[in-house]
Every structure is written in C-alpha cells, then in structure tokens.
Amino acid sequence: MAHRRIVLASSSPRRQELLSKVGLDFEIIPAEFDESAVSGAPDQVVKALALEKASEVARQLGVGLDAVVIGADTIVYIDGKILGKPADDREAGLMLGMISGRTHVVYTGIAMIDTLTGKTLVECEESRVHIRELAPDEIAAYVRTGEPSDKAGAYAVQGVGSVIVDRIEGCYFNVVGLPMSRLALMLKEFGVSILG
C-alpha cells in the first residue's frame, strides 16, 4: 500500500472502523459546519456535503502538505424527503414509522482532495434498502436501545437495526456509511492502493 498521509474528515465510528479493517493508516480531523445550509437533489446534497467536509479539513491542513483528505456524508431518502439524524427519540420513532414496510434509498457522497496538487474527486453511491413491516412496540423497543439517535434514517444496518432490514439492493457498506469498493477505486486515483 502506498504510504501517503490519509485524513478522514469525519468523526463517524462506523467509517473509522471500515477504514481500519482494510488496513488503511489514517488520522481523524472532523469537519465542523452547518449541514442544514445545503439543499437540492439527494445525490447532489451528499456530494456537496462531502466536498464541504473535505475542503474544510484541507484548508486547516494548508496548501503544500502531502495528504489525501476524505470527506463523506450519508443520507436516507424517501417520499421526496431527506432523513438525516433524528433530533430526539420522538423523531427517531417517526422516521422508523415512515420507512416501515417500505423501500428507501441511501446515498453516500465521497470527496477526496489532494492537498499537494489540489486534485479533487467527488462521487456518489446509492443503495435501495427494504425495511420489513414494524409493529409500534418494535419501533418503541428499537428507539429505547439508543442506537437510532445518531444514525441517518434512525437505524444502523450493522447493529440491532439489522433485524429490521429485509434486503438491500446495491452496496451494503454504503448503507453503513462508506461504500468501500468505490472508495478503493477513488484512492487509486490518488496513488493509494489498498490491495498493494
């Protein structure tokens, strides 16, 4: 694997775990900004947010430093609405009720910036997720686990939420928050090869 400084512009434990599992050596500098200011089509929103995160951290690092900054953003989209992270348990329950027995789309935008050259790449992955019909007591019990509180769409496919997911069309890791196959192909464009 090529050794360049890799910086993840995210504090997401899921993204950190996925990068660690493939042996990528990286550091974390979370981006902080108001995500609600971005609107539009879901694929454009996640690309814009991912780019904003990567750009903010790249600015912090400064020009001329040899690093690749990775920004990512994931949303759930249903009925023309973007479902981000629920504000509280009540909103988590409403979101779970909205996706119960239905199909929604998960979009993840990935942005990479080479701080040495300024090269920038922004892409989007989408997956369709089918949620089984949920009884009100199941929704309440799941909300009580606390898992939905910091997840887009109020569920975690890799956790207790796995029991509510009927099937996925597309990349599973996209639903977790980072489409790994696409990420690997993008990193190759910056001289970083995960498979040597």
137 is catalytic: no
Q: What is the pTM of this model?
A: 0.92
Task: Give residue-wise pLDDT tens across range 144-157.
Answer: 999 999 898 999 99
53's CB contacts (< 8 A; 6+ apart) are: 9, 10, 31, 33, 71, 72, 73, 111
Is residue 189 within 8 A of residue 31, CB to CB? The reply is no
Q: What is the pLDDT of residue 62?
A: 83
Query: What residue ranges do the domains of the chain occupy?
Result: 5-188
The single residue of 66, 73, 88, 89 carrying the catalytic annotation is: 73
Q: What is the pLDDT of residue 195?
A: 86
Structure token pair of residue 8: 């993840």
Q: What is the pLDDT of residue 18?
A: 95
Q: What is the pLDDT of residue 35?
A: 67
Q: What span, in angstroms and rounded, lies between the C-alpha atoms of 148 and 160?
A: 9
Task: Give residue-wise pLDDT tens across range 125-145.
Answer: 999 999 999 999 999 999 999
- Split at pLDDT 50, 70, 90, the class of 81 is very high
Q: What span, in angstroms and rounded, lies between the C-alpha atoms of 182 and 21?
A: 16
Q: Assign a CATH topology to domain 5-188.
A: Maf protein (3.90.950)
Residue 75: exposure state from Cβ atoms within 10 A (0-12, 13-18, ≥19): buried
| Residue (of 122, 114, 125) closest to 181 by Cα position | 125
188's CB contacts (< 8 A; 6+ apart) are: none
Q: Give the DSSP H/E element, type plus range, for residue 8.
A: strand 5-8
**Pairing label, strands 27-28, 5-8:** parallel
Q: What is the pLDDT of residue 1?
A: 43
Task: Give residue-wise pLDDT tens across range 22-59.
Answer: 999 999 999 987 666 678 899 999 999 999 999 999 99
